[in-house]
């Protein structure tokens, strides 16, 4: 199972649309995961129409229309892998311990908000992933997203991708 993991797209405020490269990734993915800050409903509609399966949450920049359609926390089982998605996890300091406490029955937690890519493992074995942002790099050198594979309850081939400048 191929995953595409994105967050903090901020369309159309930071970009008019997702980069074409990312739309190709959407088409190739079995599951698209979006960790919030969509900003407008149109992108949610487009991703729902184009994705084989979409798992998403709302973020702090998402208004009532998005909050009416998306949860604050999403959970899914993907080929035996227990996935949770949330927008914010709080400060980087102590993140692994906090998230392991708050998501005890989870193998992988995807989060966003900071626009800073993150890949770490808590002592409990919980893997934490933040894909950065494909449209608003802030202080990061590049726009980014993640891909991964799920096989027999395990996450593998996690890869951070940089989006070349247009």
User: Could you read off the pLDDT of 77-103 as tens digits, one per residue?
Assistant: 999 999 999 999 999 999 999 999 999
**b/e 127-153 (16+ beta carbons within 10 angstroms → b):** bbbbbbbbbbbeeeeebbbbbbebeee
Question: What pTM did the predictor assign?
Answer: 0.97
Task: Please give the Cα distance from 156 to 92 (Å, whole number).
Answer: 24
CA atoms within 13 A on the CB side of 30: 9
Task: Please give the Cα distance from 72 to 57 (Å, whole number).
Answer: 5
Contacts of 121 (CB under 8 A, 6+ apart): 96, 127, 128
Helix (H) or strand (E) holding 154, with range, is strand 154-163
CATH: 1.20.120.330, 3.60.21.10, 3.40.50.1820, 3.20.20.70. Which one for 2-163?
3.60.21.10
User: Could you read off the pLDDT of 40-79 as tens digits, one per residue?
Assistant: 999 999 999 999 999 999 999 999 999 999 999 999 999 9
Helix (H) or strand (E) holding 64, with range, is helix 64-69
């Amino acid at each position: 199972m191929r995953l595409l993991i994105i967050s903090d797209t901020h369309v159309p405020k930071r970009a008019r649309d997702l980069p074409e490269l990312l739309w190709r990734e959407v088409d190739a993915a079995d599951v698209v995961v979006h960790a919030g800050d969509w900003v407008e409903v149109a992108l949610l509609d487009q991703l729902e129409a184009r994705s084989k399966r979409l798992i998403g949450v709302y973020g702090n920049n998402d208004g009532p229309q998005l909050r009416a359609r998306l949860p604050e926390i999403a959970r899914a089982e993907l080929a035996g892998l227990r996935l949770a998605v949330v927008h914010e996890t709080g400060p980087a300091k102590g993140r692994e311990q906090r998230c392991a406490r708050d998501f005890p029955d989870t193998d992988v937690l995807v989060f966003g908000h900071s626009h800073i890519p993150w890949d770490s493992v808590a002592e409990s074995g919980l893997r934490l992933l933040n894909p950065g942002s494909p449209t608003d790099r802030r202080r990061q050198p590049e726009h980014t997203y993640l891909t991964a594979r799920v096989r027999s309850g395990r996450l593998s081939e996690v890869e951070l991708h940089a989006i070349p400048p247009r």
